[in-house]
Amino acid sequence: MNARTGLDLVIVGAGFAGLYMLHRARRLGLAARVYEAGSGVGGTWYWNRYPGARCDVESLEYSYGFDEALQQEWQWRERYAAQPEILSYANHVADRFELRRDIQLDTRVSAATWDEAERCWRVSAGAGAPVAARFLVMATGCLSSANVPQIQGRESFAGKSYHTGQWPHEKVDFRGLRVGVIGTGSSAVQSIPVIAEEAAQLYVFQRTATYSAPAHNAPLDADFVAHIKSDYAGLRARNRRMPAGFGSNMPRDEGSALAVGAEDRARAYEACWQRGGLGYLRAFADLILDQRANDTAAEFVRGKIRATVRDPAVAQLLLPKQTIGCKRMCVDSGYYETFNRDNVHLVDISRSGIEEITPRGLKAAGREYELDRIVFATGFDAMTGALLRMKIRGRGGLTLKDKWTAGPRSYLGLGVAGFPNLFIITGPGSPSVLTNMIVSIEQQVEWIAGCLDFLRAQGRSRIEASGVAEDQWVAHVNAVAANTVYPTCNSWYLGANVPGKVRVFMPLVGFPPYAEKCNEVAARGYEGFALC
């Protein structure tokens, strides 16, 4: 405990990561405080209130597994829960574990400076004086820093505009209006079918066509839920052995897509398509490893788009060309079908982008589109954005921004050389966004809690990743990615969606070997970290 402030730990962010970190810190008897910029808990699910927002990992799996009573008592209503239900769940967790008294809402952390003499972090949160704490945990989220593109004339638009990740709390009424949606990633794919039902005219501005699998969302069947809950711990354990931390109960083929004939392959893809969701990419084991295998899965989806969209010219524009899965695959409820509506218009901006936003609408593809509302479904400055928005100064005054000029560097995604006693949850260099993120969050929070307990038991007050361990880890993350198809397209995994951002593949592919490595590091007395 820090003598001046009484704080062992400052946690930044009150999403699923921050909430669980606080709970585990309390269980260790540590004094912790959470600072959260928003006016409520829930993180992603507090901010992303756009129409159609829901999870793309099934609700029964996209939830905490650390507490048996919690997972038994919470009743998910749908296969893929909608945003309000997930937000209620986050609030339920905050109440059930009495977390709120240590959470300060409406408080943005702007800076944190390591004080080597006192061995503590001095954290500037809100308008108050800096607070000292021995440890600092960044639970700031990978997809929490909105990417609002700097399009000329943006401020001049006379109508209202929204970013999906900063959606208003009151219902946005699109009835009778001309609406433009910029983007065709997951947020757009979820919101477009819902907005289309309300708007008079909907214009979708597409830079890159997207692959999306049907969700086949539906109310959860009581017998299925009872079956899962009869061995919930077993499902969670099996999921932790899956490459992406979910889907152990999905049918999957461990072989190659190229080892079977065209008819068997089509049958396997069709079965996954009918089951719905992200499991489509599980149809064969080598879809993200082998480009030729991947091409077969991509072509199957293109066939589905051609069969769904009635106007052949529109269907042609909707056909994605990039490697399937190298941008996160979307999961939808009626996305492609929406382009059969008379009030929905697809605008191809792949050549020249959006030229300008004007008071009356926007100019693209050589004409001005008159609009009453613009929805920016343009994604996030992912993985590093929220961290680099703060001024984090480590040992010797080194800023994290300077340290990461050539791209993020970390050891295990958890620690950064030069930044003692700083932990990042789902940081670059860890599996995070390539997994069911709640599984990754639980694994990392538990590792950090174990580490804090170990340090206390050993009478140590300082831990820092070594430069050598960090270099080796960065090389490992790159080597693993190079054996996959992930680096082959301009995705946010690479930072390619934000102009000027360094292109480095940020997450680590594969959850089980990562978790095993973290356990080994801990078992060897936090190998690769310097303790004192």
To the nearest whole angstrom, how small is the minimum distance from the Cβ of residue 78 to ligand NAP?
Answer: 13
Q: Whose Cβ is closer to ligand FAD: residue 50's or residue 174's?
A: 50
Q: Residue 378, interface with ligand NAP (CB under 6 A)?
A: yes
With CB under 5 to 8 Å by kind, the binding choice for 377 among ligand FAD, ligand NAP, none is ligand NAP
Closest CB to ligand FAD among residues 13, 528: 13
Instruction: State which of positions 427-456 bind ligand NAP (CB under 6 A).
Output: 433
The two tokens of residue 194 are: 């819902």
Rounded CA separation 305/10 (Å):
48
- Closer CB to ligand FAD, residue 55 or residue 465? 55
Strand intervals (E) in 56-119: 103-104, 109-115
Q: CB burial class (10 A; 0-12, 13-18, 19+) of residue 523? A: exposed
Stretch that binds ligand FAD, among 138-146, 212-220, 267-275, 399-407 (CB under 6 A): 138-146
DSSP string covering 220-247: PPHHHHHHHHTTHHHHHHHHHTSTTS--
Region near ligand FAD per CB under 6 A, out of 48-56, 282-290, 353-361, 468-476: 48-56
Q: Does 331 bind ligand NAP (CB under 6 A)?
A: yes
- In angstroms, what is the minimal distance from the CB of 244 to ligand FAD? 9
Burial class of residue 483 in the structure, from the number of CB atoms within 10 Å of its CB (0-12 exposed, 13-18 middle, 19+ buried): exposed
With beta carbons less than 8 A apart as the criterion, state whether 380 and 143 touch: yes
Q: How far is the CB of 453 from ligand FAD (least distance, A)?
A: 22
Please tell me the distance from the alpha carbon of residue 116 to that of residue 119, in angstroms, as a whole number. 5
Structure tokens at 151: 């399009």
- Residues 74-113 binding ligand FAD (CB under 6 A) are 108-109
Distance separating alpha carbons of residues 86 and 109, to the nearest angstrom? 25
- From the CB of 400, what's the least distance to ligand FAD, in Å? 12
If binding is defined by CB under 6 A, does position 243 make contact with ligand FAD? no
- What is the crossing angle of helices 232-240 and 222-229, to 10°? 70
Report the residue from 57, 93, 347, 412 that binds ligand FAD according to the rule CB under 6 A: 57
Q: Least separation, in Å, of the C-beta of 482 and ligand FAD? A: 24
**Count of residues interacting with ligand FAD (CB under 6 A):** 37
Beta-carbon contacts of 42 under 8 Å, excluding residues fewer than 6 positions away, are: 14, 15, 86, 87, 90, 91
Instruction: Give the full edge-to-edge strand order of the sheet including 109-115.
Output: 131-133, 120-125, 109-115, 391-393
Q: Could you say which of 43, 51, 408, 528 contacts ligand FAD (CB under 6 A)?
A: 43
Interaction between residue 333 and ligand FAD (CB under 6 A):
no
Instruction: Give how far the C-alpha of residue 84 lies from the chain's centroid of Cα atoms, to the nearest Å.
Output: 18
Query: What are the CA-CA distances from residue 148 to residues 145, 164, 376 (Å)?
Result: 9, 10, 7
The site that binds ligand NAP (CB under 6 A) totals a number of residues, namely 26
- Mask: binding to ligand FAD, 407-436, rule CB under 6 A, as x and -? ------------------xx---------x
- Per CB under 6 A, 379 contacts ligand NAP: yes
> How far apart, in whole angstroms, are the C-alpha atoms of residue 238 and residue 451?
25
By CB under 6 A, is residue 381 in contact with ligand NAP?
A: no
| Selection from 427, 511, 506 nearest residue 465 by Cα | 427
Q: Residue 377's CB: how many other CB atoms inside 10 A?
A: 24
Residue 149 as a binder of ligand NAP (CB under 6 A): the answer is: yes
38 contact, one of ligand NAP, ligand FAD, none, CB 5-8 Å limit per kind = ligand FAD
Binding partner at 437 among ligand FAD, ligand NAP, none, C-beta below 5 to 8 Å by kind: ligand FAD
Q: Could you say which residues in the range 10-39 bind ligand FAD, by CB under 6 A? A: 12-18, 35-38
Interacting span for ligand FAD (CB under 6 A) from 140-148, 282-290, 393-401, 454-462: 140-148
Closer residue to ligand FAD in complex, CB, 62/74: 62
Q: What does 525 interact with, of ligand FAD, ligand NAP, none (CB < 5 to 8 A by kind)?
A: none
State the DSSP code for 82.
B
Site mask, ligand NAP, residues 17-56, x = CB under 6 A? Answer: --------------------------------------xx
> Looking at beta carbons only, is 187 or 201 nearer to ligand NAP?
187
Instruction: Using the rule CB under 6 A, give the single segment among 107-115, 182-190, 254-262, 385-393 that binds ligand NAP.
Output: 182-190
Which two structure tokens, joined as six digits, stand for 207?
């830079």
For the residues of 381-418, what is the DSSP string, one character each? -TTTHHHHTSEEE-GGG-BHHHHTTTS---BTTTBBTT
Q: How would you label 287-317 residue by residue, b for 16+ Cβ within 10 Å and e otherwise?
A: bbebeebbbbbbebbbebbeebbeeeebbeb
Q: Which is nearer to ligand FAD, 146 or 530 (CB)?
A: 146
Query: Which of ligand NAP, ligand FAD, none sits in contact with 121, Cβ below 5 to 8 A by type?
Result: none
Residue 347 engages ligand NAP in binding (rule: CB under 6 A):
no
Q: How many CB atoms within 10 Å of residue 28?
A: 14
Measured CA to CA, the distance from residue 68 to residue 72 in angstroms comes to: 6
For ligand NAP, which residue of 145, 190, 217, 384 counts as binding (CB under 6 A)? 190
Is 181 a residue that touches ligand NAP (CB under 6 A)? no
Alpha-carbon separation of residue 175 from 18, 51, 172, 184, 188 (angstroms): 38, 13, 9, 22, 18
Q: Which residues bind ligand NAP (CB under 6 A)?
A: 55-56, 143, 149, 164, 182-188, 190, 207-208, 328, 331, 353-354, 377-380, 433, 492, 497
> Which residues here bind ligand FAD, judged by CB under 6 A?
12-18, 35-38, 43-44, 46, 48, 53, 55-57, 62, 108-109, 139-144, 165, 187, 386, 390, 425-426, 436-437, 441
